[in-house]
Structure 1
Amino acid sequence: MATPTDPLRRALLASVAALPLAAAAHGPQAHGTPSHRAAPPEQKPWGIAGDPARVSRTVEIRMGDDMRFRPDRLTVREGETLRLRVVNRGRVMHELVLGTPEELAAHAELMKKHPGMEHDEPYMAHVPPGRRGELIWHFNRPGDFAFACLIAGHFEAGMVGRIRVEPAAQEKTP
């Protein structure tokens, strides 16, 4: 004997039965592979995610448990794309995050309140002890910017560096 909920039950079962087909239609490739459409890079005041094919130079930045970056100052020409190779020579997790001094300070405060917060942006490299990571960044805006380790306590201990992006050379008119 049919009950008033039978049509609802049938619709629910039909939608559940279709789930494997929908998942298979997505394809067997993992996210981030060429078949997956990634969100376009987001313009930030300090630049935009870079194209690995357009890297003009690689800069190695070392981090240590003395809460310092080496080098802690970089000069970049507007329009340059850098590969920042970040090496953790310490015994604890460190990271390198690009940004404005104000945004980095605000993010550091947030990290103190939520020390286990996970995030993954193209302007961040989280590097376990004894390992290395990298990020590729296109510096398309001139100005004074910064990089820092925002793990709770590291920023406050002075784990900060500076980046000066010099304006692209202006063409001189005769």
Structure 2
Amino acid sequence: MRTYVRIFSLTALLVFLALGGAAGAAKQKVTITLSEMKFAPNRITVQAGSAVELKLVNRGKVKHEFMVYTVPKAGLDPDELEKWAEENSYFKGLELKVEGGGIEVVGTNIFEVEIDAGKSAEVTFTPKQTGTFEIGCHIEGHYEKGMKGTLIVK
């Protein structure tokens, strides 16, 4: 009888741990629409340590890009700003998976995702660094016309 109780207790513990692990592993899913010089929503909050799946949908008439980086110093000109965004990418050293157009890329040195008009892409990553970061499109003239937003990682 004691053997059955031990087996039942061990089985119950394993089921509890498995269910608890599955619940904690749920992805944070956010859809971001890119259109004429804006991101919608333009403010996103996610939790550090939990996987995030961003679905980027370009409903605009032109190509857009999606970059996340440390908030830049004021007064940078557009060329300096794009370089700043690349050098200070949130994704630098972070494993990132990008899927779209029948292509999947996984890497730790991806700093931008370009999405053609009418297309979409999914970006999956697990945020580690907390803080407030800027989202921007640095295709010529887009950022200057207001195509930027905020990513908050808690």
Shorter-chain TM-score bucket reads 0.5 to 0.7
8 A contact 1:73–1:161 mirrored in 2: yes
Q: TM-score, normalised by structure 2?
A: 0.59
Give 5+ residue unaligned stretches, structure 1: 1-53, 114-119, 167-174
Please state whether the residue corresponding to 1:109 is helix, strand or coil. Answer: helix
8 A contact 1:112–1:153 mirrored in 2: no
Code of the residue aligned with 1:165 in structure 2: it is V
Q: TM-score, normalised by structure 1?
A: 0.53
Shift of 1:74: 0.8
Output the CA distance in 2 between the equivalents of 1:143 and 1:69: 20
8 A contact 2:64–2:115 mirrored in 1: yes
1:131 aligns with 2:119: yes
| CA offsets 1:90-145 (integer angstroms, 9 cap, x no match) | 11010111111228x969425889xxxxxx95342100010011212221011111
8 A contact 2:130–2:153 mirrored in 1: yes
Which shifted more, 54-63 or 133-142? 54-63
RMSD of Structure 2 on Structure 1 (CA): 2.8
Give 5+ residue unaligned stretches, structure 2: 1-24, 84-104
Query: What pairs with 1:21-170 in structure 2 (closer than 5 Å)?
Result: 56-65=27-36, 67-102=37-72, 108-110=78-80, 121-166=109-154
Output the CA distance in 1 between the equivalents of 2:126 and 2:78: 23
Shift of 1:81: 1.8
8 A contact 1:97–1:148 mirrored in 2: yes
Q: Which has the higher contact order (CA 8 A, sep 6+)?
A: 2
8 A contact 1:61–1:70 mirrored in 2: yes
8 A contact 2:28–2:46 mirrored in 1: no
Output the CA distance in 1 between the equivalents of 2:52 and 2:28: 5
Residue correspondences, number: 105
